[in-house]
Chain A
Amino acid sequence: MTATAPTSDGLTADRPPSARPPVPGKTRRIMERREARIGLLFALPAFALFLLFRFGPAIAGVALSFFDYTIGVGAEWTGVENFRRMVDDPVFWSALRVTVVMSVLIVPVSLAISTFMALMVRRSFRGSGFYRSVFFLPVVTSLVLAATVFTWVFSSNGPWSKLMGTLGFSTDSWLGSTVLVLPALAMVAIWSRFGYGMLILLARMQDLPRELEEAASIDGAGAWKRFWHIIAPQLKPTLFFLAVIETTASFQIFDLVYVMTAGGPARASYNLVFYIYDQGFKYFDLGYASALGVALFAVTLVVAVIQRYLIGRDK
């Protein structure tokens, strides 16, 4: 009953295949065929679902972008018409701009906060576990739920507007401003995600050797110098991984926009994913929506390559 991890006694586990009892050729072939059949049977249910709902749709998604397709009406091959339309579509360019701006607002700040918080809690001290748990809680919380609360936080008589008023700024809701709506959404996105980056970085930091840092400290290097010259370089691969993950996630923000702004005001928070949703499930223009999906995929790939170049390159 108890699930103890198998502690392989090195003797049997490392026995070379030749040391097994000899099996007659014919019996072995039968056994191998039986093994193959069983392997196939075990893998098949998952693989069938996978073909049906991932592999097939991925190919169909790209293919559909070359069609004019409406449910119930049918499909018509239109070549690159959808993409030509996209190039001339001001809404597409505005949605792309919103997507990129949101990502630029979110990713660097989120990574900075994650790193800072990871540095703060990386040593064990009284309460460090409590803080880690608190900072991770938003990560497991539904974005829809977060969005309902933050809509109130940013409303014109909510705490954020009151705070702005106290600081001498306008108390108008940020969600109603074409300029401030994206920073407001970015703050919610960062709130919901920084704990993820923090834990990933924390795991990496705990694997770093302490000796370098201690030596630097004895030589009189301050906290900032120790971070910048010793810790940060060793975190580079992890930061790259996080940058890609966070960028992808920020490109796909949907729940927050749907609940908090519905893309407004005046399309100021109308991002690509929201445009795909509108085209696909409000106007049922599924061909064009697929083309927009392909565009989003392309943008994600291009940005990942650029990040690879920027972060991966040596000074």
Chain B
Amino acid sequence: MTAVDPTTTGRVLEGAAMPVRPAPARRRRGRSGANDLTVRGKVVRYLVLSLAAVVTIFPFYAMVVLSLKPAAAIDFPASLLPTNLTTEAYDRVLGAGNIGTWLVNTLVYSLVSVVAVLLLASMAGYAFAKKRFPGREAMFWSFLAMVMVPYHVTLIPTFILIAQAGGLDTYWGLILPTLANAQAVFLMRQFILDLPDELFEAAKLDGASEWRIFVRIVLPLCKPILATLGTFVFLWHWNDFLWPLIIGQGTDHWTLTVGIASLQQQDVPLNMVLAGATISFVPIFASYLVAQRYFVEGVTSSGIKG
């Protein structure tokens, strides 16, 4: 399903990273129209974009400000002014105990999955791209075909499998099924395919073992795609909801998304729910500010978010 070239979206991001990009030399300036807007056009564009930006950002702003309000003061619109702020909601939500556990669970779920998916997918990608072995084509095509099958068809048998094996309420039960990532293998294979064989053959002639070649030569060359893929896998796991919801039966085994959803459904005051939401949002937002390019490449080259 990957109809988008990650390098293309990467270039879009270059534009995002550097707001003022020098115009390419080939850009010929016409009279007006296609390239240059009139002053009025520019003003309209800024107005429309700013309105859209306000609408887009408003929920984030409301989340943070309302989480910093005392429980009683949540009445629109007065409550949206950043006055009378207090960390009461944070104290209470952190004091209630579980959110720390959920944060740890989410971190374990996300980080272990990233490391494991990157290792498994780059090994398999290397094998599919550079090695000949019996069954290679059949294996690869079965990977590809499964990208088409929706998640909800495999969900129930996977749940039964994990439940029968005693994996409910365990980290391995939560993590293991999500490591079977066909898109990751596909992306790695495409990237490694373009690396010239000579790089590996020289090392082989020097007597380096295959594992050593993989770790010392293949992996370092794959850094850009590993960063992109790793960001996507991290984001996917951090935001994942349905699978942790059905695997984690006891509150100690929930992730942040499951915990926050349950806060929302009980009669927990809004400022506490939003404090929990803000806690889960901050790590993603901070990483987005720093490594936006990888977020964009990861999401746009891997397609659907859950």
Chain A positions near chain B (C-beta within 8 angstroms): 1, 3, 5-6, 8, 12-13, 32, 35-43, 45-47, 49-50, 52-58, 60-62, 64, 69, 71, 117, 120-121, 123-153, 157-159, 162, 191, 193, 195-196, 199-200, 202-204, 206-207, 210, 213-214, 216-218, 223, 226, 237-238, 241, 245, 248-249, 252, 254-255, 258-259, 262, 273, 276-277, 280-281, 286, 289-290, 293-294, 296-297, 300
Contacts and interface: CB of A to CB of B under 8 A. Distances in A.
B260 interface: yes
B4 A127 contact: no
Interface string B1-24: 101110011011001111111010
B152 interface: yes
Contacts of A38: 127, 131, 210
Interface string B263-306: 01100001001100100110011001000100110011001111
B257 interface: yes
B34 interface: yes
Chain B's interface size range is: 35 or more
A290 B156 contact: yes
Contacts of B257: 142, 144-145, 255
Contact of B296 (A46, A58, A136, A245): A136
Interface of B: 1, 3-5, 8-9, 11-12, 15-21, 23, 27-28, 30-35, 42, 45-46, 48-49, 52-53, 55-60, 62-63, 66, 74-77, 120-121, 123-124, 126-128, 130-136, 139, 142-143, 146, 149-161, 163-164, 176-177, 179-180, 182, 185, 195-196, 198-199, 210, 214, 220-224, 235, 238-239, 241-242, 245-246, 257, 260-261, 264-265, 270, 273-274, 277, 280-281, 284-285, 288, 292, 295-296, 299-300, 303-306
A39 B284 contact: no
B123 A42 contact: yes
A6 B154 contact: no
Contacts of A157: 75-76
Contacts of A159: 58, 62, 76-77
B196 A13 contact: yes
Contacts of B135: 40
A45 B305 contact: no
Given A49-B179, A142-B257, A296-B150, A137 B156 contact: no
Nearest to A59: B157
Nearest to A36: B133
B242 A277 contact: yes
Nearest to A290: B156
B17 A129 contact: yes
From A134, A218, A300, residue with most partner B Cβ within 10 Å: A134
A248 B147 CA distance: 13
A214 B30 contact: yes
Contact of A135 (B11, B53, B130, B142): B53
Given A3-B221, A50-B146, A124-B23, A153 B62 contact: yes
A203 B4 contact: yes
A151 B264 contact: yes
B179 A47 contact: no
A71 B239 contact: no
Nearest to A7: B196
Nearest to A223: B33
Given A142-B238, A207-B8, 19 more contacts: A5-B221, A13-B196, A35-B132, A42-B126, A46-B180, A49-B180, A54-B149, A54-B180, A133-B292, A134-B57, A141-B239, A142-B241, A142-B284, A146-B59, A157-B76, A199-B296, A203-B8, A217-B32, A293-B156
A144 B241 contact: yes
Contact of A36 (B132, B195, B214): B132
A180 B197 CA distance: 59
B300 A53 contact: no
A5 B220 CA distance: 10
B59 A203 contact: no
Contact of A47 (B15, B74, B124, B277): B124
A6 B264 contact: no
From B152, B176, B177, B185, residue with most partner A Cβ within 10 Å: B152
A46 B120 contact: yes
Given A50-B143, A203-B11, A64 B261 contact: no
Contact of B136 (A43, A53, A276): A43
Contacts of A151: 264
